[in-house]
Structure 1
């Protein structure tokens, strides 16, 4: 496949390489989906595979699916296996290593599943597992079993089964006011099918907010069409949370996709996963967060990588997460600092180090420079009993 360089105007993304095809094809998300990279021969058209990568691709066969869109492949360094985009998309030997404590479902999706698709973990909100399909099977996926194990899925029945049972469950639980469509990636569905699901939720009076978790803005931003945005806007309030993990992913195409959603009144948040060798340093994370703000995406969560079977090699220590949070707090604007969380069967648990210590004399406070001060209990009472 011949390729030509494509200059970008973003500060974070370097020159990328795309195939020499008409813009009408490159800008058509269906073209990319039909031409996904799913084997060694196709991958060689984009990158110079290392022997370790070829061995890993052979090793995951029959165990974990993998595919890469041509768009996302165009962001890969063709010569560097440590490229942060390449590591997220191309199988690696670590996926086949057994790690202590690793589980298929450490966050408890299957434990809280109430119907074929509904997972009811929190009092007022549920997730709806729409599909197991993704444009790119991210190697760090927390639902690796559901989305990438050839012989496994969270679904009790086929994903093509009726949604009636799922919608009925939500309607019969009026405490549910917030529904997150996830999967897999819900935007893998055509607009018409997706609207059927959303309209079914909108018909339930107690459902106030519909959210969509999608990595299409990162992996294939051409999917974010005006038609899609217009459809979503018909069912407001609709929110989208996406998943940028590295500044290299913030390209003109991704920025344009975000802009289309925002212009249709769809707020966009970001959930980054802390990944060893990809974004586990302060400089990279600061750049990522500031670049997200530049394209008007609100940093939401920084997830500690889950100890998921086939994913554990991406985990860092919690101390590394603390170091990065310390490097963000006070160094970039407050709403650019995500919440550092560990996802467990108890829920998402904030695990950032506190900037205060309770002492007998009051609160000892610490700022981003490490400077400390004591706030007397008489000034800011710690307990209600001491409050004026």
Structure 2
């Protein structure tokens, strides 16, 4: 597999002494994303080929049966520490008893997707952009998913009609609202569809003159990078401008395979951004987050958002305090290059709200500024006026 310059096995954190491909699996199978989808881990018996499950993990799998879906691609399982249940990759994919605990204030849709839904798939929350929830399916059902009710809950769905219904109504809504210039395909994971079906959707959007930007939200570069084929990239490149946002949460997820997937997207003119979720026990410390952001830059992925974990039913056990987020943001700002620092946001029904602490305070003498070392200075109001001068 071609490797991005500068990315080596030694430089990328991996599970200790863990070959990425089991010896009994042919290389041609391991490199075929459809093989991984067919061989997804969906039972204790299958998981035990990769991991030594704890009693609590087995109990969580048993108790979540009939409530929450779960599946893990062999590739993603290969990144897990087989002996450590606190492995940050393992925690994101293996059911936990915390998912079944009721937390105060938890909701199935705290961000208001269903409130803003205009058609079966279109959610119109912001003036000039919409999301299209085109599927419920994912290669791995992430335990922290903010749309857990839609993707992972066996009885849940944001769809009014079935996923297989025609897209005509959705495309018509977008065409009839010329203020919509930006469409984000999400789900579930849009790349769960085969190229032909995905192209039908993308070409339908590109046929709407007022749609300027098509974005795809996909965790396949992390969970199954083999899906990012040359054929897929060539197809998407026919409908530029196309952007892709992905979702690395921990440095262990950055591998030669994921770096190769990013490289293929970039070589076809598809920019790649990253949206990390702050997760208790996974990445809620400064050192891990710094490493993640700098490693992302090294494989040419732009950090975009750091999401505060939503209080979602079945997800709340991953939440940290907002103070923890502030601590991490202070540990990033000034300590790594500026474009490697994501925007820390809280997603609400009224939108994504930036919640990083300000580095300034308004005083009678002007702005009191504070840098990443805690050093302070006052910028006099006469030098940089806070209030617009009266033009009269």
TM-score, length-scaled by structure 1: 0.97
Offset of 1:8 from its aligned partner?
2.5
Residue of structure 1 in register with 2:22 after alignment: 19
Deviation string 1:295-319 (CA, Å, 9 cap, x unpaired) is 0000000000000000000000000
Q: Is the 1:10–1:251 Cα contact (8 Å) retained in structure 2?
A: no
Choose from 201, 208, 214 the match for 2:218: 214
Unaligned 5+ segments in structure 2 are: 1-7
Look up the match of 1:193. 197
Matches within 5 A, 1:282-301: 282-301=286-305
1:34 aligned residue (38, 47, 57) = 38
Aligned equivalent of 1:120, options 109, 115, 124? 124
1:376: which partner in 2?
Answer: 380
Query: How many residues get paired?
Result: 382
For 1:68, the equivalent position in structure 2 comes to 72
The answer for the alignment partner of 2:9 in structure 1 is: 8
Give, in whole Å, the separation in 1 of the partners of 2:385 and 2:375.
22
Q: 3-state SS of the aligned residue for 2:344?
A: strand
TM-score calculated relative to the size of structure 2? 0.96
2:315 corresponds to: 311
Aligned partners of 1:231 and 1:223: how far apart in 2?
A: 13
How far did residue 387 of structure 1 move?
8.4
Task: Map 1:261-276 onto structure 2 (within 5 A).
Answer: 261-276=265-280
Moved over 4 A (4+): none
Q: CA deviation at 1:11?
A: 3.0
2:5 is matched with: none
Coordinate RMSD, CA, aligned: 1.1
Q: For residues 53-104 of structure 1, what are the alpha-carbon distances to aligned partners after superposition, in whole Å with 9 as ceiling and x for unaligned? A: 0000011101110000000000000000000000000000000000000000
Cα deviation for residue 386 of structure 1 reads: 6.0
Is the 1:129–1:183 Cα contact (8 Å) retained in structure 2? Answer: yes
Q: In the TM superposition, what is the alpha-carbon distance from 1:12 to its structure 2 partner?
A: 2.8
Three-state SS of the structure 1 residue aligned to 2:368 is strand
Q: Which moved more, 1:157-166 or 1:8-17?
A: 8-17
Distance in 2 between residues matched to 1:333 and 1:386, nearest whole Å? 38
Provide the residue aligned with 2:81 in structure 1: 77
* Contact 2:41/2:72 (<8 A) preserved: yes
Does structure 1 residue 259 correspond to structure 2 residue 263? Answer: yes
1:232-243 pair list within 5 angstroms: 232-243=236-247
| 8 A contact 2:15–2:80 mirrored in 1 | no
